[in-house]
Amino acid sequence: MNRAPHKSAQAASPHLLARHRAGRLWKTGFSLSILFGLIALAALLFNVIDQSAGLLVTANKVDPSTLAEKPLEELSVKELTQILKSNLSNNRIKTIERNGVLMGRTQAELLELIDEQIVKPEVIASYHLFESLRHETEIRQQALGKNPDARIEWKIWLNWHFLTNVMSSNAQYAGVRTALLGSLFLIAVSILMAFPIGVGAAIYLEEYSDRRLRINRIIQTNIDNLAGVPSIVYGILGLAIFVRALSPLTSGVIFGVEGGNGRTILSAALTMALLILPVIIINAQEAIRAVPSSLRQAAYGLGATRWQTIWHHVLPYAMPGILTGSILAVSRAIGETAPLIVVGAATFITQDPNGVFSRFTALPIQIYNWTTRPQPEFRNIAAAAILVLLLSLLSMNAVAILLRNKFSRR
């Protein structure tokens, strides 16, 4: 009676073939979406890496061989100090000695100082990585043809000096230490503010609020909408409230900090906390809602109070999801530039942040600043700073993922 699925019967079913064909078509479409994403990512990485290394052509303002009879590397600390003192003005020496007297420094540090202050190599041209690799000989010939004294070297802009140096108006000596520390400070303070408040709000909305009340539905709608508000708007809010209105608090004046204004890490972190709060709340709510009701019932059935149920069962179960959501929020915050510009991040600052009341700059601010400079070598350090930003983002996410896995190990 029933037809056996013979091969011939199958072949004679054009409808089935059409169904499979449609399925394959969709699958191809979905693969293309992934391919598109991969291409975009590859282009981004290529572009950044291409700019962050390459051939650099420089010419010295002063020939180092004219400074002393012997090569500088063979001179003692005392002789090097002497060279510095005789070639630089007293005021300049004073400025330098603010960070430590010359005699107290090592030979390597003094050599660096001489290079930076007296020899002053100027960038003539800077080439991207792949261009340099392909046309190295032409570039060398061309550069030497224009300027026989030119020094041509391979330069990887993202190096230890770049990480540990402070800002400089010369791209060769500029570093991201201040900006990196500023970003880390900023993110740490905003997480400390936003995470507990966000999770608390999510717990209230999911576990305590009565959805039949209109006010709670209005609160929910508003939080959903706040997540989509452009970040510049938060910046203006932060400027009005934290920088201006609460200036005695955010500048630290009431805590005895002298001469401060409201443009501090605290103001920026509070603004950033406001910015990521809706995202944290929504994701935490999502995670809490995903806790099976059977788990809650089991706890209530044993005579647990609502809070015991939340603390011992709902939160631990929801924590991986809450952390995932918070990672997303923090990733957004670390790259935010607009609100920081508005609340007054400094663009040129050489002092490390030393507390929540200090002035600051942040990585995206530096990157933005450097890309707007006309000299091409600043684009190289901007690319290097982007790599620093990406790497710090990756390592922060890695920590968060480790935390998440620790919570979800059962």
As beta bridge partners, residue 156 has: 53
Does 313 engage in binding with another protein (CB under 8 A)?
Answer: yes
405 binds another protein, rule: CB under 8 A: no
Name the nearest CA neighbour of 352 among 189, 178, 100, 185: 178
Give the residue, chosen from 31, 141, 221, 308, that forms a contact with another protein under the rule CB under 8 A: 308
- CB-based burial of residue 207 (10 Å sphere; 0-12 exposed, 13-18 middle, 19+ buried)? middle
> Does 300 participate in binding another protein (rule CB under 8 A)?
yes
Minimum distance of another protein from residue 201's CB (angstroms): 21
* Interactions with another protein, residue window 150-179 (CB under 8 A): none
Q: Which is nearer to another protein, 155 or 313 (CB)?
A: 313
Is position 312 an interface residue for another protein (rule: CB under 8 A)?
yes
According to the binding rule CB under 8 A, does residue 294 interact with another protein?
yes
Question: Are residues 246 and 253 in contact, defined by beta-carbon separation less than 8 angstroms?
Answer: no
**Nearest alpha carbon to residue 309 among 326, 292, 323:** 292
User: Considering beta carbons, is residue 133 or 304 the nearer one to another protein?
Assistant: 304
* Segment interacting with another protein, rule: CB under 8 A, options 156-164, 201-209, 257-265, 303-311: 303-311
Largest CA-CA distance found in the chain, in angstroms, rounded:
109
Which of 31, 95, 297, 372 binds another protein (CB under 8 A)? It is 297
User: Is residue 5 classed exposed, middle or buried when 0-12, 13-18 and 19+ CB atoms within 10 A define those classes?
Assistant: exposed
Is residue 290 part of the contact set for another protein (CB under 8 A)? Answer: no
Round to whole Å and give the CA distance between 329 and 287: 15
- Residue 298 in the binding site for another protein (CB under 8 A): yes
Shortest distance in whole angstroms from residue 284 CB to another protein: 19
305 touches another protein (CB under 8 A): yes
Q: Of the candidates 145, 112, 280, which has an alpha carbon nearest to the alpha carbon of residue 205?
A: 280
- Positions touching another protein (CB under 8 A) are 210, 212, 292, 294-305, 308, 312-313, 317, 410
